[in-house]
Structures are given as structure tokens and as C-alpha cells.
Structure 1
Amino acid sequence: MNQDNASNTFSAALSQPPRRSLPQPALILALVALLASGGAWLYQQNAMETLKLDLSRELASNNKLQQELRAQAVAQNQTQQQLLARLTVQEGKQAEALARQESLNNMYDTLTRGEALHSLAEIEQMLSFASQQLQIAGDVNSALTALNNIDQQLLRLNRPELISVRQALTQDINTLKSTPYVDVIGVTAKLNSLIDGVERLPLLVDAGHNPKDNPFKANPNHNSVQQFGAEVWHEFKQLIQIRRIDQPDLILLSPEQGFFLRENIKLRLLNARSALLLRNEAAFRADITATVRYLQQFFDAKAPTTDNAIKVLRQLETQQLAITLPDLSASLTAVRSARTTAERAKP
């Protein structure tokens, strides 16, 4: 029984199993999937080939660019070396130029210092003279002109150590501009003109004795006989003149006394001129007043020359002389200080 079962089992194992039939749609899907996979693999392969080609081109371009960059770097290094060489040369030239400039500056400083010393000495003399003229003659305009010229001279020097001098000059210039002006030269000229014209002033005893003062005037309506008679009558009237004189003793003034009278008037005017220069207002007015009194008392006041002289003297009587004039001590001190400093700094 056991042998029969075993033989049946062995024969069953050797026998072929029955075939199963696959469904048709599944097979088609499997083929489509297989074809899609193959297509994707082919596409990837093509893409990889294209990418490899692009990468090789990029690598070649990069290699070429690197070579160009290396060449440019080499050229830049060479250029930089040339520039460094040129810079070294320029630095050497610049150092040489600086040395020359320093030497020239030292020479110029030495020359200008000497010029400044000479100019300061000259300016000190000009200031001293202007100060003396200001105190003696009171000529403010001349002092202002001198200070302005000195300021222009200092401006041309253009040295920093002279700034204090220019500041002192500016202060003195402003002070002089605010000072009342006495025209000493103009007043002196008027006095000199009066002194020169004293000889031409007619005395009271000589008034009307000059025929030129009352010339004959012909009448065009008269005939020749009437003209002759009028002229004879005019000459006859010139021989006899009737005048009223409040001081009869003036008629007895001799020519010698007239000479001394004119000399006395000249001395009065000369004293007034001296008082003007000394700023002595009281003495100046006293001499002018005495001169006016002499002219009104002994000279013909109706004569144009005498009348003009009296008018000029009346104007001079009102002239103010007592004016406090400033000094130039600030400018002189600044100039002397700058000169001393420059002399000490001189090598």
C-alpha cells in the first residue's frame, strides 16, 4: 500500500502543471511601461551627452579665459613694475624739487627779510616825519597820504609778521579821518596874499585922487561942443573934491607914516601866520582883529581891494585853531617792534 502511494506521488510531481492564461491588457501596459522606460533612458543618455558636450565647451572656454587672465595678470604685473619704476623716479625728482624749493624759499626769505628790514627803516623815518609835520603844521591830509602810502608798501611786502604794523596804521588812519581839519596851507596862502596886497590898498587920504577911479563917460546924444564942455567940467570937478572925514587928523598922515602903517600891518599878518603854525588861536585872532581895525580906520573901505581884504580877514577871524591833533605813536611803536624782531631773527 505504501509503495503504491509513493509511486503515485512521484508521478504527480513529474507531471506538468496546467498553464494559466495572462490577461491581454496587463501585457500591453507592461510593454508600454517597458517602452517608456527605454525612451526615458534614451532621453537621459542624449541629455547626458549634450551636457557632457556643453561642459566640455565650457571647460575649454574657461581654460581659454584663464589663459587670457594669466596673460593679463602678467601684463598688469609688468605695467605695475613699470609704474613703480616711474613712481620711484618721480619720487626722486619730487624730493629733488622739494629740496630746491626749500633752498629757494630760504633764499627768498633771506632776501625778503633784508627788504623788510630796509622797508621798516624807511617806514619808521616816514612815520617820524609825518608825526612831526602833524604836530608842527597840523597838516592832517599830508599825514593821511603818508600813512596810506606806507600801508600800500606793507601790502606789497606781504609778510605775516607785519600784520600788527598794518593794524596800528589802520587805527591811526581812522583816527586822522575823524579829526577836524584845519587848512593850514590855505590859511597861510590867504595871509601871504594879504601881505603882498598891502602895498596896493588905497589910504583914506588918497581916496578919489586917482582919475581912473572916476573916468569920463561920453554921452552919445551930445555934439562935439557939448562933449568938450562936459569933459572940461569933469576934469574941473576932479580938481576940487568935498569929502566928510570923521577923523580929520587922518588927512595929516604923511607918506612916511603911511609906509610905517603898511609895514605894521604886514608885521601883524606875519605874526598871525606864526600863531597859525603854533596853534595859538588867541594871538591869531588878536592880530587879525587889529589888522581889520587898521584897514577900516586908515584905508578906503569903499575901495574893492580894501573891501575884499576886510572880508577875507573876517573869514579868518572865525577860523578854529585849538584842535587836539592825534599822534602816530602807535604806528611808530609797532614799526620799531617789528624792526627789532626782524633784526633778531636775521641769520
Structure 2
Amino acid sequence: MPRWLGLLALVLAVVSIAALTLAWDTQRRVRSFEQELVKRQQDSQSQSSEARMLARQSQDASREAAAKVALLEARLSEVALQRSQVEELMQALSRSRDENVVADMEAAVRVALQQSAITGSAEPLVATLSQIDERLARYNQPRLERVRRAVARDLERVKAIGVADVASLSIRLDEAVRLVDELPLLAVAEPRRVGSEAAQRRAAARAAAASPAAGASAPDASWRDQALDLWERSLAAVWGEVRSLVRVTRIDSPDAVLAAPDQVFFIRENLKLRLLNARLALLSRQFDSAQADLRDAQATLDRYFDRNAKRVQSASELLRQVMSQARQTGVPRPDDTLAALAAVAAGR
């Protein structure tokens, strides 16, 4: 019995030693775990403090970002509002510019139409339509394309109309007025040029007498040639005087020959006044009055002046040219251009 107790005591001692060893090891591990836990708790506390600080910073940053976003949204709304206002202003300016261009073109066309009506020339209207066409080409606005087409049609139609060139007609009348003082009248006898064969023979004889060969071969013939030359010159002078006294001319109006010398001045001045009146009528575009004055001037030329003279024929030809070209021609209205401008101005 005591032996069993000793063995039991030994077993209890071993178990006690093992338990103490295990308890010590467990206590050691618990301490290490506590240290590790404390360390980790400290790390977690530091991380949590850092996280709280970062969260606080992120909150501050988010608040700042939200404020910035709100500010940007406000500015964006302001920019959008300003952009819409600028677009409306640009559209208004564009519409106003188009309206101003259309109004300027319409005013220019109407002024050119009035100038053409006053002057009777299509040049003002042609120049204005050409300028409008060039301006539309530079402007390059699709809304005004039909206006450009209408301008091109009116320009072709105006150019096709033949209008009297008043400037050239006035120059021709001035030339006719200048010729009036040089025109030969039927009532005034013009001196005729006597070109006889005797004068030619005398010239040939003088040339032959001047040669030394003729003088050496016929010394006695010089006095006979001189006598013959003197006789022929005397006869030619007498015959020229007789021909100057007698003038045979066919005159359809006898009163033209009966005009007194003091009336010659008034005939020329009356013709000048007729031509000047015709010129003034042309400048004022009174073509009917100009035609009447030109007919009277032509009748005066045919009645009182020598129609066989070249100067009279030249003056008569000038009057016929002016009478044939001085015709009233209406300048066509640019109705297509005005209608297109009115349609654009109305917004259609």
C-alpha cells in the first residue's frame, strides 16, 4: 500500500511539474500575446488617429471641392447665360447687318433709278447694279443669293437697252456750230479759183526758158515766149474777171439769193441758236424739242446755204446723225431687284 502511494505521489509530482511547465508556457504566451495585442492596439490607435485625420482632411477637401464645384457651376451658368446673350446679340447684329445691307442696296437702286430718269441715261443704273453685284459677291450670304440673281437679270436687261449717248451728240452739235461761220451762203458769191491750161503752159514755158540748153539753142525765142506769156496772162485775167461777174447756180428758193448782206449775219446767228437750242434740249432730255430744232436747222441749211459745198455737206451729215440717234428710250425699272430686296427685308 505505501508503494502505491509513493507511485501516486510520483505521478502527482510529474503531473504537477508538467502542469506548472504548461502554465508557465501558457503564461509566457499570454504575455507575448498581450504585448502583441498592445502593440497592435497602439498601431491601430495610431492608424485610427491617422485615419481620423485623413478623414477630417478628406472632409475638408470634399467641402472645398463641393464649394469649388458650386462656384464652377455658378460660373458655368453665368457663362452659359452670357453665351446665350452673346449668341442672341450676334444674331441680332447679323440680322441688323443684313437689314442695313438690304436697306442700303434698295436706297442705292432707287437713287440710281431717279438719276437715270433725270439724265435719260442708263449708266447710273448700270453702275449701281454692278456695285451691288460685287458687294453681294464679297458678302457671300445665302439669304441674299436670290437678290444677286435678280440683280444679274436686271443688269442684263438694262445693258441690252440702247440709250442715246448725249455726250457724243453734244460734241457733234458743237462741231456743227463751229462750222456755221465757215459755211458758204447762196446770197454771197464765193470767189472761184481759175486754173486754166494757159497758166500751165506758161509755167512749162518758164521752166523751159530757165534751162541753159534751151537758152543756148533758141536765144531769139525768149522775147516771143515772154510776149506770148504776157498776152495769155492778160487774156486769163480778163476772162477770170468776166467769170467772176457771172455765176450760174440752180436755186430752189429765190428768197435765199435776195437776202441782204446785213441779213447774212442774222441767218448764221439764227442757225447757231437753233443748234444751241437743240443741244440744250438734248442735255435736258427733251428729244422732241431737239428734233424740231434740228429739223429747222436742216431746213435753214438747205434753204440759204450752198449744198454743193463740202462744209455744208459735212454740217448736214452731222445734223442727220444727231437726228437719227436723238430718240427717247425708256430705261427699264429693276423690278426684280426691288422685289427680291423687299422679300428679304420682310424675312421671307
Band the TM-score falls in, shorter-chain normalisation? 0.5 to 0.7
Structure 2 contact 154–337 (Cα < 8 Å) conserved: yes
Q: 1:286 to 1:326 in 2, by over 3 A?
A: same
Give the aligned residue type for 2:177: I
Structure 1 contact 182–321 (Cα < 8 Å) conserved: yes
SS of 1:323 mapped into structure 2:
coil
Q: 1:107 to 1:243 in 2, by over 3 A?
A: farther
| C-alpha separation in 2, matches of 1:236 and 1:116 | 89
Residue 246 of structure 2 is matched in structure 1 by 242
Q: 1:249 to 1:124 in 2, by over 3 A?
A: same
Residue in structure 2 matching 1:221, options 180, 183, 204: 204
Residue in structure 2 matching 1:130, options 107, 112, 117: 112
Give the aligned residue type for 2:171: A
Question: % of aligned pairs identical?
Answer: 29
Q: 1:299 to 1:130 in 2, by over 3 A?
A: same
| C-alpha separation in 1, matches of 2:179 and 2:84 | 70
Residue 61 of structure 1 is matched in structure 2 by none
Structure 2 contact 113–124 (Cα < 8 Å) conserved: no
Give the aligned residue type for 2:176: L
Residue in structure 1 matching 2:299, options 288, 293, 300: 293
| C-alpha separation in 1, matches of 2:346 and 2:189 | 70
1:264 counterpart = 2:243: no
Structure 1 contact 276–321 (Cα < 8 Å) conserved: no
Structure 2 contact 106–338 (Cα < 8 Å) conserved: yes
Residue in structure 1 matching 2:152, options 146, 170, 189: 170
Task: Compute the displacement of 1:151 (Å).
Answer: 0.7
RMSD between superposed Cα atoms in Å: 4.4
Task: Compute the displacement of 1:149 (Å).
Answer: 2.6
Structure 1 contact 207–300 (Cα < 8 Å) conserved: no
Residue 146 of structure 1 is matched in structure 2 by 128
Structure 1 contact 144–173 (Cα < 8 Å) conserved: yes
Q: 1:241 to 1:130 in 2, by over 3 A?
A: farther
1:111-167 Cα shifts (integer Å, max 9, x gaps): 877766665555445423431232233323553343223211221111223223223
| C-alpha separation in 2, matches of 1:326 and 1:128 | 13
Structure 1 contact 272–283 (Cα < 8 Å) conserved: yes
Give the aligned residue type for 2:319: L
Give the aligned residue type for 1:159: Q
Please report the TM-score for the alignment, with normalisation by the length of structure 1.
0.54
Aligned pair count reads 242
Task: Compute the displacement of 1:333 (Å).
Answer: 5.1
Q: 1:236 to 1:167 in 2, by over 3 A?
A: same
1:303 counterpart = 2:309: yes
Task: Compute the displacement of 1:298 (Å).
Answer: 1.0
Structure 2 contact 282–326 (Cα < 8 Å) conserved: no
| C-alpha separation in 2, matches of 1:227 and 1:154 | 87
Residue 60 of structure 2 is matched in structure 1 by none
| C-alpha separation in 2, matches of 1:231 and 1:143 | 72
Residue 236 of structure 2 is matched in structure 1 by 233
In structure 2, list runs of 5 or more residues that go unmatched: 1-79, 208-225
Give the aligned residue type for 1:154: L
Task: Compute the displacement of 1:336 (Å).
Answer: 6.0
Q: 1:321 to 1:251 in 2, by over 3 A?
A: closer
| C-alpha separation in 1, matches of 2:234 and 2:139 | 79
Structure 2 contact 187–257 (Cα < 8 Å) conserved: yes
Task: Compute the displacement of 1:109 (Å).
Answer: 7.4
Please report the TM-score for the alignment, with normalisation by the length of structure 2.
0.54
1:183 counterpart = 2:165: yes
